[in-house]
Structure 1
Amino acid sequence: MRKWRNVIVLGIVLVALVAAYFLLKGQENAVDPQASATSTPTAGENPDAVKMLDLERDNIVKIVLKYADREVVLNLEEREVETEVEQEDGKVVPSTYIEKVWVTDAFQVDQTTVNNILYGGVNAVTRRLIDTEPSDLSAYGLDKPVTVTFTDKAGNSRTIEVGTSTPSGDDYYVRKGDGKEVYTLVRYLAEYLAPGPHDLISRQLYHRQDLTEEDMTELTFHRDGELVFSAYLKKAPVDWQITRPLEISANLQNLDRFLRGLSGLKASRVVDDRTDNLAAYGLDNPRYVLEYTLDGQSYVLRLGNKVGSAYYAMMEGRNLVYAVNADSLNYLDTPLRDVVLFMIYVPSIFDTSRLVIEIDGRRDVLEMDISQELAEDDVYIFNGKAIKDKEARTLFRRYYQGAIAISGDRLDLEAKPEGKAEVRLTYTSKAGEVTVVELIPTPDGYGYYAMKNGRYTGLVLGKRELDKEDKGIRKSYENFVSYLNELEE
């Protein structure tokens, strides 16, 4: 037994030694995840490594970028920023704080891009010395470089010139503004250091970045030069009403695609800041125009040509052409019928005190005072007779539901209804507001035009709508009256 025990111990030791060998071997061959072919060299490692900027980042207060056709001056300033703070009692109150931001008079600055410029400048250490006495700067793109000048609080200024990329594309040619020598600088630092002029412009479309669909209160949508619809938030948070080309409740499920998409819209890039050739972007006669109110601010968004996965876009009041992701605008071809709620009028039974139903030569009067809890002392009166039976009360409510369930099945905005109504529903709310729904026969015998308070809603419904087996008004009346008759027998 002792012999086998020794063998097992030796086996365990052998396995441990083998594992240790491969572990050490793996460490020899492992690659440092922080190291790469494009890592920035240091002066101690590379004799050609020269630090291009000797200013402290936190002391830099001004950056001037010169391009072939423009100069951009950026200054670091303190600005008061408005925000909201939730107190201990849960109340949200306005608040302000001070932050340092980069600004210019010409446009709103993209702060991330400027921070990249600073990063590129303070970390700019050259990789190779290419030419000590260059005779032809055009060979390096340094005859017309992008120049970046940093100035600190003490007034010290340093300039870095950025030319074209090397043939391999891994580096860019650079030199100090007060020097002759041409060096190479790793690509990502050079591109941070000298962004394109449009990259300096903020891509933020709105006055706040945290807006949601709940901040939107108005929306008008034009497509191909014609109005699709206008709508507004009638009652927060979800009661939206369409006002043009017809007055009717909105189908929030489909309208919400507009609200979410627009409130969260972001530009992927600034394409142009000179808008003298809008036709090139399809913005001289944009196909889509959306006017809306977000957090009390009005915006007009124009959308032009679609190129790849983006639309060209403009915001009214800004001479900027943006590119916006087409995926966030996938609702632009939604037809009006998908935004309309085809229900003619849907008041809650808990908010209604009286409903008069005139149909088939009959006039029924439903009076009610019903609570959300459906208590025993709730009031149900049908044609002057109080309803106490539990099942009868359920059928009373179903009759009411049959009335409010009457809905259109198509739109006809060109029709001009004439004639006498065959069905009339008169609702009186607990607040005393009266709403009248009337159904006027269509001349082709198909069904009815739906009217509300004497105005055509734009909705047409087939005659079969009144005879549905599950919730049709005729069937619910038949079930209700049949049960009442059984109670009397």
Structure 2
Amino acid sequence: MKTKRRTLIVLLVFVLAAGAALALLTHANQKAEQAASEAEDGSIPLLDVTTATLESVSIQYGGETLTLRPSDDGWTLTEDPAYHLDDSACNTIRTALAGMKAKRQLEAQPGEDYGFDAPQLVVNVSAAGESTTLTVGAENPVTGDVYVRREGGDAVYTVDAARFRCMEQTKAELFGAFSPAGITVSNIEAVRYTLQSGETIKLQSVSQPTEADSTTYQTVWQLTDEPDAALDTGKTDALLAALAGYVTGQDTAADLSACGFDAPLVTAEVTTADGTVTLTYAIGTNGYYMMVSGDSSVYTVDGQTVQALCLTARQLKADT
């Protein structure tokens, strides 16, 4: 009986010991996984910045310096306040900077410049009244990390290169497409446009019943001077879409002559319930451009937009 009891006690001790060993092993594995995760994501603080405390970020890239400032109304480019930035792209940059951490801290070796003599990026971050400058050097071809140095220090850090990819954009690439005239197809009531030839075409929208004696109405476009002429709806739809379309670029200090505004292709007066705005389209040395009344910027548009607007009254008709 005593022998059996001793055997049970030994077995119980063995089970308890095995359980303790398993618990220690599980804990060790969890710590190892956590350490691996931290190594992958970075655990060495580089910037004391959050999305809420960021005041500005100045990026030197591709020969340009762009200083981006957030506000309640979106982002502003300090070097060109009238420039329309892509708020989404700027928000991505802010997110990448928030709580940025390095994977490793290295002691700079003599004779190694780590790409800092010709850096990919120089990023100055202002947050909560403090300013920090990061110089981004070469990329390690094995790990895919970039070498980073903080101004005022000699240490070299390695950071996931993906953190900085969103900052490798020129001013043109940070442009946010939009409609500078602020009009939509649905709120256009009338259009009067003049071609380079001197011909002026006037269009107006009218409500007509969908069928005889119908109480349901639809909007129909017609030539003001020839209201009975049937129009090609595909062409009129394209014309209206072109007037309300988004621009693809902006120059706040363009040479108007070089952009062709001395002899514009078409000038359109667009009337909505809010009033009338004038859009002028031209062809220049590098493409097609548009200007909006009350706005000194020159905007880039595609050729299809301009072609949709350069139709004569005869070409708008359904039988042509």
TM-score of the aligned structures, taking structure 2 as reference length? 0.62
**Residue matched to 2:124:** 148
**Residue matched to 1:240:** 221
Answer yes or no: is the 8 Å Cα contact 2:49–2:97 preserved in 1: no
Answer yes or no: is the 8 Å Cα contact 2:134–2:149 preserved in 1: yes
Whether 1:315 aligns to 2:295 is no
**Residue matched to 2:301:** 324
Answer yes or no: is the 8 Å Cα contact 2:258–2:285 preserved in 1: no
Q: How does 1:381-400 map onto structure 2 within 5 Å?
A: none
CA distance in 2, matches of 1:330, 1:118: 40
Whether 1:62 aligns to 2:91 is no
Report which of the two structures shows the higher radius of gyration computed on alpha carbons.
1
Whether 1:273 aligns to 2:245 is no
CA distance in 2, matches of 1:311, 1:60: 41
Q: Secondary structure at the match of 1:190?
A: helix
Q: Identity of aligned pairs, percent?
A: 19
**Residue matched to 1:287:** 265
**Residue matched to 1:190:** 164
Answer yes or no: is the 8 Å Cα contact 1:249–1:340 preserved in 2: no
User: What is the CA-CA distance between 1:118 and the residue it aligns to?
Assistant: 0.8
Evaluate the alpha carbon distance shift between residue 60 and residue 216 of structure 1 in structure 2; reply closer, same or farther with a 3 A threshold. Answer: same
CA distance in 2, matches of 1:226, 1:165: 58
**Residue matched to 2:39:** 44
CA distance in 1, matches of 2:105, 2:256: 45
**Residue matched to 1:120:** 96
CA distance in 2, matches of 1:205, 1:164: 39
Q: Secondary structure at the match of 2:166?
A: helix
CA distance in 2, matches of 1:316, 1:171: 49
Evaluate the alpha carbon distance shift between residue 121 and residue 285 of structure 1 in structure 2; reply closer, same or farther with a 3 A threshold. Answer: farther
Q: How does 1:92-107 map onto structure 2 within 5 Å?
A: 101-103=74-76, 106-107=81-82
CA distance in 1, matches of 2:148, 2:295: 35
TM-score of the aligned structures, taking structure 1 as reference length? 0.43
Answer yes or no: is the 8 Å Cα contact 1:288–1:304 preserved in 2: no
CA distance in 2, matches of 1:279, 1:178: 48
User: What is the CA-CA distance between 1:125 and the residue it aligns to?
Assistant: 4.3
User: What is the CA-CA distance between 1:225 and the residue it aligns to?
Assistant: 5.4
Answer yes or no: is the 8 Å Cα contact 1:123–1:189 preserved in 2: no
CA distance in 1, matches of 2:226, 2:103: 69
Query: Which structure ranks higher in relative contact order (CA pairs < 8 Å, sequence separation ≥ 6)?
Result: 2
Q: Secondary structure at the match of 1:214?
A: helix
Evaluate the alpha carbon distance shift between residue 321 and residue 187 of structure 1 in structure 2; reply closer, same or farther with a 3 A threshold. Answer: farther
> Tell me, which stretches of 5 or more residues in structure 1 are unaligned?
1-40, 80-100, 343-409, 411-489
Report the residue type matching 1:267 in the other structure.
V
Match for residue 259 of structure 1 among 220, 240, 246: 240
> Tell me, which stretches of 5 or more residues in structure 2 are unaligned?
1-35, 209-217
| Aligned-residue CA RMSD (Å) | 4.3
**Residue matched to 2:193:** 221
Match for residue 274 of structure 2 among 293, 296, 319: 296
